Amino acid sequence: MNYYTEIKNELINNEITKKVKDYSKNKSDLTTYYNVGKLLSDAGKHYGEDIIKEYSRRLTNELGKGYSVTRLKYMRRLYSVFSKSQSMTDLLTFTHYCELIWFDDINKINYYIKICIEQNLSVRELREKIKNKEYERLDDATKDKLINNTNPVVTDFIKNPIVIKNNTNKEIISEKILQRIILEDIPAFLDELGTGFTFIKNEYKIKIGNSYNYIDLLLYNYEFNCFVVVELKVTELKKEHIGQIEVYMNYIDKNLRKVTQDKTIGIIICKKDNKFIMEYCSDSRILAREYLEI
């Protein structure tokens, strides 16, 4: 087989297809680069690793820019990853895949493919999630659910620790300051919690007995159809924090929740001297997460 001729024809046909059928150019790119990757892999077995440099030089001379050694290696890696009974969706671009295919863990790749599709992520947004180690901050039970395609619950995709970006010069010494920093970029905070979270109000006022109390953040999750109470602490988790949030959750269930809605869940966000370890609460509806300030 003349591997070079086959590779060149694949790439030329792809350019023709993209000009004629602009609507399917992404699919054409991925199919072509996968096929080229296979040919490069086979050619390497016959002629050695250096053949990719020779093909890059010839393709650049004959077809123009876009066929560097690095780019050809990405095509070969694309084939290597997705030739192992792994499906590849054309809802992502080749550039998206270039961010993912060097991970050794296929489950990690699948996770980022999943959220790219669900959240319509740009390549820049995908890079940000990878940089923040989003997959690594999921607990093992959630990862198992993803692998086994098990239905998740609302708390599964809350990261641990939660990353809170402090773009101000404020030192986080109180719950009020922490709350203010979160509110300055509430979409990023909601994204840290997972999918389906929407913001209702901060300092949500409730009356318990003869006194007024204020819920730090009241959210709603439209995917799981439930209210979410968030309490912010700048200390380690304490027993009284759990008792406090249970009172708030019960209030919401009694006064706001409709019979068609699921029970309110609670999230306590706390700090623990640079040790970001999961804390467990007796009430399964309460989840405690530490926050990591960056």
236: confidence class by pLDDT, cuts 50, 70, 90: confident
Residues 6+ apart with CB under 8 A from 223: 154, 195, 196
pLDDT at 283: 55
Question: In this model, does residue 277 exceed pLDDT 50?
Answer: no
62, 67, 147, 134: which is closest to 99 by C-alpha? 134
Question: In this model, does residue 272 exceed pLDDT 70?
Answer: no
Supply the pTM of this predicted model. Answer: 0.81
- CATH 3.30.465.10 assigned to 152-293: no
Asked which of 96-110, 218-232, 278-292 is least confident by mean pLDDT, the reply is 278-292
pLDDT at 151: 87
Residues 6+ apart with CB under 8 A from 200: 218, 219, 220, 227
pLDDT at 22: 64
pLDDT at 211: 92
The residues spanned by each domain of the chain are: 3-131, 152-293
pLDDT digits (tens, 9 = 90+) for 139-150: 898 999 998 988
CA 278 to chain centre: 20
282: confidence class by pLDDT, cuts 50, 70, 90: very low
pLDDT at 279: 44
159: confidence class by pLDDT, cuts 50, 70, 90: confident
Give the integer Cα–Cα distance in Å for 194 and 190.
7
232, 148, 119, 229: which is closest to 182 by C-alpha? 232
Average pLDDT over residues 218-238: 91
